[in-house]
């Protein structure tokens, strides 16, 4: 009989021990370890993403660009690393360029997350198949990553670039990534970004580009130094045509359009960046700081025309003279044209002569008469004496050393007679004139010879800038109300100050529109007869400065001519040197609806002096009316007395100023700045801000004044 071999115990089978589930345990452990590793890698990547974020500094470090009111570029400035990297966004660029860029560089830009895996696979396969690079796989986001920071051109650098691209995509939207590329794309030399390249090579903003121009701007970054049209126009043309040809083959551009674009010439020179209103632009950058764009109130068309005029005029300045011009729109107080000199790159051209303190000569006389008109001391037809007279030790003479006898105020202002102007200033008070001007926003300076307001102010014994003087004249055009000038588009209108009443302002316009024209202009040449322009000229002592400021209902134009170093120009008068330029500037300005100004209802319009009230028929100087004020003694400052040291109390900073005597109302002026009107009160308050010396002046209704020089010191 057969004997069955003994059954050997089977080796241990894990499946029998666990009901068939034992083999899954090692696999589970491996998956678990892989998951942990993957999670750790993800955590590390996330941590690295925040610990080592991409640096967007270069994209934010852009050239400061100063713009005209319509967005036209006036002047740009290099970045700290000496690049032309102008602010630009998608809305500033022709959509045709953007379509070509995406079609040529990154067709799936809107769909990928920074890395185009399909493009990378295709590029790798082509490289293996052809034993060399056939096409690239860098997305626009990857290119932005390389433009933001230096990345080596090797395998390690490519990995860094990929990581950075993903980081960028998590932080910026697609439009923001495109903005960064438009700003940073290398365009040859120190030109970066499509806007800078468009201006430098095409001479225009990139808002409207032809197909050929758009293709050129797409092609240059492929090899920025080799494809520069200013250095290698033929190579630039080949690069442009390659872009057009490839996009035509892919169906992005019609063949006929591409062939026509290939026939367009390529620019062969680099064009200088826009350079208008350079002084105003430079000061805007200093005042507003290093920001992307600063929009001003400048009218680009008028600015271009004015600069063209000054360039033509510069040829006639053979004696080292120069010109400055300021044009203001009266209703808004906006500066619409500004020239600080005729040649910014000349020996002294970078000095802003429109903001230099200079003597205005007789150009302040209208404000003297305007105040007197306001006080009902004068009328344009009032008779006034032009005869030899001394005001203490001061004995003014006319320019021709002669005298005209008795004339009307109108004729005195037309002929710019000195004695009548000084006599009227003596009546209203030079401190009051200075207060009216400084309250209107003008800055005044005094020489060591004239340490403060005095009668020589009538003839130019004070310093003022062309900008401030033109601003004051615009106040006359605005019915006597002046506002601070506005240079920036976002600048709100400033506080209004009244220089004089509307009647006085109209009297000045009516008188000054009849000012004698310069030689050669009286026979119909000059101002466009479609508008009435009132103007006044001025010539400083020694022929150092020649001025003319003219105003119409809509515009005010100020012109200064002279030498930057202040040396004399014998024979150069405001009427002959500056007035013709002012007239030519007005010819460049838009026409005006109103030919002149309508007389206010309260204006006293008469045919001759005899029709005036008796009190206005003849002007009485101060010495003749002194007896009228005998019943009221002149003002005296009771506190603080002259020479006093006044302690300041931080708990009660207000300082009481008190006067005795004086005809009411009283006006107080501290360090050249007027305080609020004290009215019929003999005292007012002033709040000093710092220690030091101050000059306190009180002026009464008769123009008499008293002054105290004091020292301010904080209490211990």
Please pick, among 63, 105, 169, 307, the residue that the annotation labels catalytic: 105
Phi, psi (degrees; rounded to nearest 5) at 630: -65, -30
Closest Cα partner for 211 from 92, 97, 67, 103?
97
Phi, psi (degrees; rounded to nearest 5) at 328: -125, 140
Closest Cα partner for 416 from 514, 285, 483?
514
In angstroms, the CA 108 to CA 14 distance is 53
In the chain, the largest separation of any two C-alpha atoms, in whole Å, equals: 170
657 class by beta-carbon count within 10 Å (0-12 exposed, 13-18 middle, 19+ buried): buried
Active site residue 587: no
Phi, psi (degrees; rounded to nearest 5) at 706: -140, 150
Q: Which residues is 325 bridged to in the sheet?
A: 339, 559
The DSSP secondary structure of 576-595, one letter per residue, reads IIIHHHHHHHHHHSPP-S-S
707 CB neighbour count, 10 Å cutoff:
15
E strand segments, 502-599: 534-539, 545-551, 555-562
Q: Which two tokens stand for residue 443?
A: 């800055």
Sign of CA dihedral 588, 591, 594, 595: positive
Closest Cα partner for 636 from 658, 654, 615?
658
In angstroms, the CA 300 to CA 504 distance is 34
In angstroms, the CA 637 to CA 700 distance is 11
Q: What's the residue count for the chain?
A: 716
Are 466 and 361 in contact by the 8 Å Cβ rule? The answer is: no
- Which stretch of DSSP H or E encloses residue 35? helix 24-51
CA-to-CA dists, residue 316 to 319, 321, 446, 564, 582, angstroms? 9, 9, 32, 16, 16
Active site residue 293: no
Q: Which residues is 590 bridged to in the sheet?
A: none
Q: Is the peptide bond before 640 cis (omega within 30 degrees of 0)?
A: yes
In this structure, the dihedral spanned by the alpha carbons of residues 300, 304, 306 and 309, taken in order and rounded to 10 degrees, is: -170
Please pick, among 362, 515, 694, 705, the residue that the annotation labels catalytic: 362
Are 296 and 490 in contact by the 8 Å Cβ rule? The answer is: no
- Which stretch of DSSP H or E encloses residue 419? helix 418-428
299: left (phi over 0), alpha (psi -120 to 50) or beta: beta
Active site residues: 105, 362
């Amino acid at each position: 009989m057969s004997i069955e071999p003994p059954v050997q115990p089977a080796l241990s089978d894990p499946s029998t021990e666990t009901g068939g589930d034992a083999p899954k345990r090692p696999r589970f452990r491996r998956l678990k370890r892989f998951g942990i590793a993957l999670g750790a890698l993800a955590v590390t990547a996330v941590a690295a993403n925040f610990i080592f974020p991409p640096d967007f500094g270069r994209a934010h470090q852009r050239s400061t660009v100063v713009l005209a009111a319509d967005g036209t570029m006036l002047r740009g400035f290099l970045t700290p690393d000496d690049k032309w990297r102008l602010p630009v966004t998608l809305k500033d660029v022709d959509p045709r360029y953007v379509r070509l860029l995406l079609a040529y560089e990154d067709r799936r830009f809107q769909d990928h997350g920074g890395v185009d895996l399909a493009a990378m696979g295709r590029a790798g396969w082509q490289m293996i198949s052809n034993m060399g690079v056939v096409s690239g796989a860098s997305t626009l986001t990857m290119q932005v990553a390389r433009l933001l920071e230096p990345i080596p051109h090797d395998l390690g650098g490519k990995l860094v670039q990929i990581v950075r691209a993903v980081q960028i995509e998590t932080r910026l939207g697609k439009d923001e990534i495109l903005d960064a590329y438009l700003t940073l794309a290398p365009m040859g030399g120190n030109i970066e970004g499509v806007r800078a390249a468009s201006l430098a090579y095409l001479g225009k903003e990139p808002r409207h580009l032809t197909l050929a121009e758009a293709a050129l701007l797409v092609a240059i970054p492929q090899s920025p130094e080799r494809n520069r049209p200013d250095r290698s126009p033929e190579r630039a043309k080949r690069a442009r045509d390659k872009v057009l040809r490839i996009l035509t083959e892919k169906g992005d551009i019609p063949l006929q359009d591409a062939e026509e674009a290939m026939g367009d010439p390529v620019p062969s020179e680099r064009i200088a960046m826009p350079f208008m209103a350079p002084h105003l632009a430079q000061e805007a950058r200093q005042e507003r700081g290093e920001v992307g764009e600063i929009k001003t109130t400048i009218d680009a068309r008028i600015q271009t025309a004015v600069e063209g005029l000054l360039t033509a005029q510069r040829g006639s300045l053979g004696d080292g003279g120069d010109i400055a011009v300021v044009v203001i729109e009266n209703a808004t107080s906006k500066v619409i044209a500004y020239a600080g000199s005729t040649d910014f790159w000349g020996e002294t051209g970078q000095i802003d002569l429109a903001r230099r303190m200079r003597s205005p000569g007789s150009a302040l006389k209208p404000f003297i008469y305007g105040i007197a008109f306001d006080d009902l001391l004068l009328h344009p037809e009032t008779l006034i004496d032009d005869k030899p007279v001394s005001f203490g030790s001061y004995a003014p003479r006319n320019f021709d050393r002669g005298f005209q006898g008795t004339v009307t105020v109108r004729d005195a202002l037309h002929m710019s007679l000195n004695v009548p102007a000084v006599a009227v200033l003596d009546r209203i008070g030079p401190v009051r004139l200075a207060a009216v001007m400084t309250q209107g926003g003008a800055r005044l300076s005094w020489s060591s010879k004239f340490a403060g307001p005095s009668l020589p102010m009538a003839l130019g014994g004070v310093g003022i800038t062309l900008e401030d003087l033109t601003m004051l004249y615009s106040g006359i055009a605005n019915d006597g109300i002046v506002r601070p000038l506005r240079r920036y588009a976002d600048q709100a209108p400033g506080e209004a100050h009244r220089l004089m009443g509307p009647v006085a302002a109209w009297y000045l316009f009516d008188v000054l529109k009849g000012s004698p024209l310069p030689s050669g202009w009286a026979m119909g040449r000059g101002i466009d007869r479609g508008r009435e322009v009132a103007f006044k000229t001025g010539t400083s002592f020694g022929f150092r400065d020649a001025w003319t400021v003219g105003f119409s209902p809509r515009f005010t134009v100020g012109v200064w001519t002279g030498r930057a170093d202040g040396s004399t120009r014998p024979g150069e008068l405001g009427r002959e040197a500056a007035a013709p330029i002012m007239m030519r500037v007005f010819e460049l300005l838009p026409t005006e609806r109103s030919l002149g100004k309508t007389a206010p209802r309260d204006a006293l319009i008469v045919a001759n002096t005899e029709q005036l009230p008796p009190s206005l028929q003849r002007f009485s100087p101060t010495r003749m009316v002194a007896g009228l004020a005998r019943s009221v003694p002149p003002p005296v400052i009771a506190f603080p007395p002259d020479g006093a040291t006044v302690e300041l109390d931080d708990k009660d900073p207000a300082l009481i100023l008190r006067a005795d005597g004086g005809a009411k109302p009283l006006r107080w002026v501290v360090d050249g700045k007027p305080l609020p009107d004290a009215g019929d009160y003999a005292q007012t308050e002033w709040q000093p801000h710092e220690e030091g010396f101050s000059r306190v002046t009180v002026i009464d209704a008769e123009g008499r004044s008293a002054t105290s020089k004091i020292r301010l010191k904080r209490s211990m």
